[in-house]
Amino acid sequence: MFTKNILAALLLGSMNLSAQVSYIDYLSPFHPTIGQSGMVVSQNQASSDIGIQILDMGGNAVDAAVAVGFSLAITLPRAGNLGGGGFMLVYLKDEDKTIAVDFRSASPKNITQDDFLFLKNNYDQRRYGYKASGVPGTVAGLIQTHERYGKLPLRRILKPVINQARKGLDVSYDLNQAIGSAHQIALDVESTKLYLQDNNPVLEHSKMIRKDLAWTINEIAKNGDEAFYEGSIAKKIIQAMNENDGYMSAKDLREYQPRFSEPIKTTYRGLTVFAHPPPAGGAAVLLESLNILENFSVKNMGAQSAQFLHLLAEALQRGHMDRSRFMGDPEFYDVPIQKIISKKRASTLAKEINLASVTPPGDLNPDSLFYEGENTTHYSIVDKDGNAVSNTYTLGYSFGSGVTIPGTGILMDNQMNNFAYRYGEEGIIDRSASEGNKFEPGKRPMSTMTPVIVFDENNALKLISGSPGGALIPAAVLRVITGIIDFDLNLGEATMLPRIHKDWPYESLRIEKGISSDTKKVLESFGHELEESKTMGSTQSILISSQGTEGYADLRRPNAGVAIQVD
């Protein structure tokens, strides 16, 4: 009897232990947030929450995207913006239609040849101060997209954002550190008032009230984008430009318009990947890289193997080669985008790849086709009806040009730095000499911003993603897509895979912390010159899976967050 009792106790204990282990031992250490309705993933939790407020009001994904875009100008001032520009993809479920919205900043039209030479020869002048700013497109892009595809009145969706600006935000460690790293803030009187105290960044945990931004957003809520481009806000922008020798004119603002078009796309192992057309050059890198990878069987390689990372690097190098030479504003340059993202082009490039040896940049022929700051931000949104928005926008550098327009709270971009000022110089082959991206008045500079929307084999919405990171963006998004499609990883696992970046015509392969020493040795044996980075990008993604709607905010940058709608 005693023996039986012991056996029974051991058996019961074993069962309890088994039950406990099965409960604790989750499938992955990286847990997506799972919902069954609307979802918002952005680089700031408070802004994600505002997006859900809009969905709960009965708004759609576009309504939420507008509110989140304006909110991030408050909560993430280094990248969220009203004084910059970007690219957006909008998916309308009922129409089974995806629209690309280009609201990239544009060069002022009145820049003379002497102005061009000044910018070319004065690097800091095109990065910091009033001469550095292109004509901002964010407000026009968000508002005109809302006019076409939103449901709720503009005043209603911007009201929570105005209240957020009036109440202010608690200064986080991240914001305090970001201000401290942006030296151009101290070069501008208005920015100094807002972001510095006694020449130091505003203190962590202090309250930052944004009454100036509240006024600006309220003017837009009442009068739409006209307030920004012709009305009360425009007058403040132009007054400041005139007083500080800026290039932007009232005519530049008045004539700015976002561009609505069809996305570019490719298929990858049966799924369809939509991205933004030029001047979004990062999209071309992504699609071309996917097309190259499709020529190889990678499933058995392992997502973190040296062999797969080498293959990623080779594909990315070729994609960046074409971006560097042939990408620009399609209204000024005939971008051969369909050739760049064609399966034929990819097949030709794939045949040149040696699976055990790096291709030196000089061995690639960039002319064979014919015979960017890392402080951007991205957010992804889906509503309960299946409409989706993938939006990436930027000021360029962290805090852009450093200029804040007095009385408005609007930080201005520094996109005048993004043109190819060395075009025509003998012996220069990299992006600084790109014909497609050479400087011209009124032109929009090439960008690596890469918002994407992916559909499955049955044309059902599968993935919404994008990232900040300048030239690192295509590789970050590529890593998420291949992690999900090629290696069946969940969204968290795919997001947290160690990343790489291989540009052209540069020798080094940038690798992220987390890649094992053994893998590094193998990559070096293939001929790669390794350069370690701490982090690369910060993807904000939504995946539609058998479990429902999965959201994951990249852990590489703090304060990002997923917000879900609960019906």
Active site residues: 376
Distance in angstroms (rounded) separating the CA atoms of residues 101 and 106: 14
- The CA R_g of the chain, rounded to the nearest whole Å, is 24
User: Which of 482, 451, 490 lies closest to 468 in space, CA to CA?
Assistant: 451
Distance in angstroms (rounded) separating the CA atoms of residues 219 and 13: 67
User: Which of 67, 87, 86, 63 lies closest to 75 in space, CA to CA?
Assistant: 67
Q: Are 109 and 252 a contacting pair, CB within 8 Å?
A: yes
Distance in angstroms (rounded) separating the CA atoms of residues 171 and 245: 33
Rounded to the nearest 10 degrees, what angle do helices 306-326 and 473-485 cross at?
Answer: 140
The token pair at 517 is 């020493």
Q: Strand, coil or helix: what is 192?
A: helix
Q: Are 272 and 91 a contacting pair, CB within 8 Å?
A: no
Q: Strand, coil or helix: what is 314?
A: helix
The token pair at 444 is 């929009």
**Residues near 95 by Cβ (< 8 Å), separated by ≥ 6?**
none
Examine residue 279 and say whether the peptide bond preceding it is cis (omega within 30 degrees of 0): yes
Strand order in the sheet with 264-268: 33-35, 548-553, 540-545, 461-465, 452-455, 271-275, 264-268
User: What would the DSSP string read from start to end of 226-252?
Assistant: HHHHTSHHHHHHHHHHHHTT-S--HHH
